[in-house]
Amino acid sequence: MRWVCVSGLLLVLLHLSTSLLLGAFNIQTFGITKASNLVVMNIISEIVCRYDIILIQEVRDKDLKVTIRLMTAVNNRCPQYLCIPSKPLGATSYKERYLFLFRVLTVSVVEPHTYTYDDTRNVPRHDFYGRFSYPPFIVEFSSKQTAVEKFVLIAQHTSPDKAVKQINALYDVVTDVRKRWDNNNIVLLGDFNAGGDYVSRPRRKQLLLSKKNGFHWLITDDEATSVKTGNPYDRIVVTDDMMKGVDGKGEVFNFMEEFVLTEQQALAVSDHFPVEVKLKKKTVAETSTVNRDHDDCVGEPAVTMQHSID
C-alpha cells in the first residue's frame, strides 16, 4: 500500500494554492464495524483529506458514534474539519445518514441554511417519505476562495429499483431550493444508481435533469464509479450558474489504484469510488481568518452540537 504522508501545515498550503475540491463518497454500510477497523479507517480518512467538502453516504449511525470516530480519524490526520450530519433517514427500519465534512480553512456553512427536503406533502399517508427512500439533505456553503462564493449542495442516495423516479424528483428539489434561498448555484451529488441495469444510457438521457435546459452531468456515462461492475452509479450534476464556477470536468478517484490495493482490500472500504469536481478560485486572492470555538459537528439546522440530533 502506497501512502502519501503530508503534514497538516503542508496540506493547508496546498489547498490554499489550488482549486477547491468537492467530492461525494458512498461508503458501503458505514457502521460501527467498519469504523472499528483501523486499516479501513486510515484509508477513509486519507480519502477525506483530499477534499474541501465531501458528502459521505450510507452512514449507519444511530447515536453518532461512527461520525465521532470518523471526525477523530480525519482531524488527527489533516486538521481541521467540521461535519454536518442529517437525521437518520429511511421509511423502513433501515436508516442512513448523509454526512457533509468540510475544511474550516476554506469553507463555511451559511447558517441556518440546512434542511431535509419534505416530500410528504400531497402524497398518500402510507407513502411516508413520498418519492424518496432517503430524502435529499441540503446545505448552503460559502467560500471566499471560489469564483462562486455561495453554493448549495443537494445530497441524494437513490434506491436502485426506484432510481429513475427518484432522480426525476430531484428537479422539484432544485425548484424548492431556488424559492427558499434565491440561489441557483446548485450541485446535486451522490449515489444516484444512474447506470447499469438501474438506469440505462437511453433512459438516462430521458431524465428530467438531462432533458431540461440548465443542467450539466459532470460524471459521464463512460466513468466507472463502482469497484466491481464499472458502472457510473455516482454522479455530480450542476446548474448553469454553478457550471460557471466549475474548473474542468468531473473525475472518479480510484483509490484502489492510488493506494495499490487489491480488489478485496478496496471492497473492505466500499464498493464505490468517490466522485469529485474542482471549483474555480477567485481571480484575486482573498484571505480570511477562521474563528473556531465550537465542536466538530453541526446540527440541523446548523447549531453547535456533540450529541445526537435525533
Asked if residue 1 belongs to a domain, the reply is no
Contact call for residues 249 and 218 (beta carbons, < 8 A): yes
The answer to whether residue 183 scores a pLDDT higher than 70 is yes
Q: What is the pLDDT of residues 231-265, one digit of tens each?
A: 999 999 999 999 999 999 999 999 999 999 999 99
Contact call for residues 145 and 286 (beta carbons, < 8 A): yes
Integer Rg of the chain from CA: 18
Q: How many domains does one find in the chain? A: 1
pLDDT level of residue 9 (50, 70, 90 thresholds)? very low
Q: Who contacts 9 (Cβ-Cβ below 8 Å, separation ≥6)?
A: none
Q: What is the pLDDT of residues 129-157, one digit of tens each?
A: 578 999 999 999 999 999 999 999 999 99
Contact call for residues 91 and 129 (beta carbons, < 8 A): yes
The answer to whether residue 184 scores a pLDDT higher than 80 is yes
Q: Cis check for the bond before 80: say yes or no (omega within 30 of 0).
A: yes
Contact call for residues 62 and 95 (beta carbons, < 8 A): yes
Least confident range from 11-25, 135-149, 192-206, 271-285: namely 11-25
Asked if residue 40 belongs to a domain, the reply is yes
Structural domain of residue 237, as residue ranges? 8-305
Distance CA 174, CA 154 (A): 8
The answer to whether residue 298 scores a pLDDT higher than 70 is no
Asked if residue 3 belongs to a domain, the reply is no
The answer to whether residue 164 scores a pLDDT higher than 60 is yes
The answer to whether residue 17 scores a pLDDT higher than 80 is no
Asked if residue 310 belongs to a domain, the reply is no
Asked if residue 32 belongs to a domain, the reply is yes
Contact call for residues 59 and 85 (beta carbons, < 8 A): yes
Diameter over CA atoms, the chain: 54
- Write the CATH number for 101: 3.60.10.10
Q: What is the pLDDT of residues 102-131, one digit of tens each?
A: 999 999 999 999 999 988 765 655 555 578
Distance CA 219, CA 204 (A): 12
pLDDT level of residue 2 (50, 70, 90 thresholds)? very low
The catalytic site residues sit at: 96, 157
Q: What is the pLDDT of residues 42-80, one digit of tens each?
A: 999 999 999 999 999 999 999 999 999 999 999 999 999
pLDDT higher for 287 or 246?
246
Asked if residue 252 belongs to a domain, the reply is yes
Asked if residue 183 belongs to a domain, the reply is yes
Asked if residue 268 belongs to a domain, the reply is yes
Contact call for residues 208 and 171 (beta carbons, < 8 A): yes
